[in-house]
Amino acid sequence: MKSHFQTIALIGKYKSQEIAEPLLKLADFLASMGLDVVVDPLTAEQLPVNPYALLSLAEMHGKVDLAIVLGGDGTLLNIARTLAPFDIPLVGVNQGRLGFLTDISIDTMQRTISGMLQGGYVTEKRMLLSATVDREGAQVFESLAFNDVVIHRGNSSSMLEFEVRIDGEYLYNQRADGLIVATPTGSTAYALSVGGPILHPGLDLIALVPVAPHTLSNRPIVLKSESVLEISMHRASEARARFDGNTYFDLHGQDKVTIRRYEGKVNLLHPVGHSYYHTLREKLLWNQTL
C-alpha cells in the first residue's frame, strides 16, 4: 500500500497506562504496512516494551510526516500548540467518547487511519493565538493557545479590574471574575459555558467573552483575526493568565497581556465524511428528542 505519509509519530496521553495497549497495536499495524514509526519519550514511559525509535516533540521538525495523538481533546490541544510551528499534520484518536478534535474511535482506528493514509482524508486549518506578558516594560512570558487565553482571579474572592484596548483603541475598563479570549476552536469550550458564541472552526475570528462581569450590559464581542488585544491589569490579586487550561502565569498589578493571532496554523486531518455540525449535535446533545 502506498501511503501519503512515510514517517509517523505516535503520541499518547501522558501518565495514562490505559493508552499503552491501543498505541502499540496501532504502531504494529503501521509498521506492518512498511511505514516508519517513532514514539515520543514521554509516551514511551507508559509502554511496557517499546521497539520503536524515540523522537521528542522538539526533534520532529522535518523528520515526521504525520503525528497521531491518542488521548482526548486536552492531549491534542497540548500537542497541537507544541507542533504548530513545525506544520506537522495531526490526527486525533479518542480513548473515550469522541471529542471535538479527537474524532476517531480507538475501536475503528486501524480501518479509519488505513483509509486516511491512502488519501481518504480532509484537511482543516485552524488558527491559534500568541500571547505575551509585559512587566515594567520588559517581556516576562509568552505562550501559544489553540483554545483560549483566560485571565482569571485564581483563588482570590476579589474581582479583577483591567483595561482592554483593541488595536490601540480603548474599549472598556472592566470589573469581572475574568476574561476569555478564544479562537473558533475554543468557542465551544470555556467561552461557551459563560455565554459566548459558537464560531465555525473554519473562520479566522477572535471571541472576547467576559466572565461574570460587574456591568450587566457587557456582552461578548467577536473581533477580526488581525486585531491586537491589550489587557492591562489594574487590580490583580492572585490573578493568572491561563493558556488552553494547561500552561499558566501569575499576573501582577500593572502587567500587560498582549494577544494576537499566531502566524501559523494547526493542520488537522479528518476522515472523509467528517462533519463539524454532526459533532456539535452529538457533543451538545442537539440530537435528543424534546
Domain with residue 57: its CATH number is 3.40.50.10330
* Structure letter (DSSP) for residue 212: S
Task: Flag whether 152 is in a domain.
Answer: yes
Task: Give the DSSP H/E element, type plus range, for residue 3.
Answer: none
Does residue 108 sit in the same domain as residue 136? no
> Looking at per-residue confidence, does 16 or 203 come out higher?
203
Predicted TM-score (pTM) of the model is 0.93
Does residue 35 sit in the same domain as residue 18? yes
The mean pLDDT of 40-52, rounded to a whole number, is 94
Does residue 133 sit in the same domain as residue 208? yes
Question: Which pLDDT belongs to residue 289?
Answer: 65
Residue 119 has pLDDT above 80, yes or no: yes
Question: Which pLDDT belongs to residue 187?
Answer: 97
Does residue 109 sit in the same domain as residue 133? no
Does residue 84 sit in the same domain as residue 108? yes
Residue written as cell 494547561? 246
Does residue 114 sit in the same domain as residue 21? yes
User: What's the domain count of the chain?
Assistant: 2
Residues annotated as part of the active site = 73
Residue 1 has pLDDT above 70, yes or no: no
What is the distance between the alpha carbons of residues 151 and 191, in angstroms, rounded to a whole number? 12
What is the distance between the alpha carbons of residues 128 and 261, in angstroms, rounded to a whole number? 6
Task: Flag whether 279 is in a domain.
Answer: no
The SS3 call for residue 50 is coil
Dihedral sign for Cα atoms in the order 156, 161, 165, 166: positive
Task: Flag whether 188 is in a domain.
Answer: yes
Task: Flag whether 59 is in a domain.
Answer: yes
Q: How confident is the prediction for the chain on average, in pLDDT?
A: 93
* Side chain identity at residue 209, one-letter code: V
Distances (CA, A) of 87 to 10, 108, 122, 242: 16, 26, 16, 24
Q: What is the pLDDT of residues 230-249, one digit of tens each?
A: 999 998 788 999 999 989 99
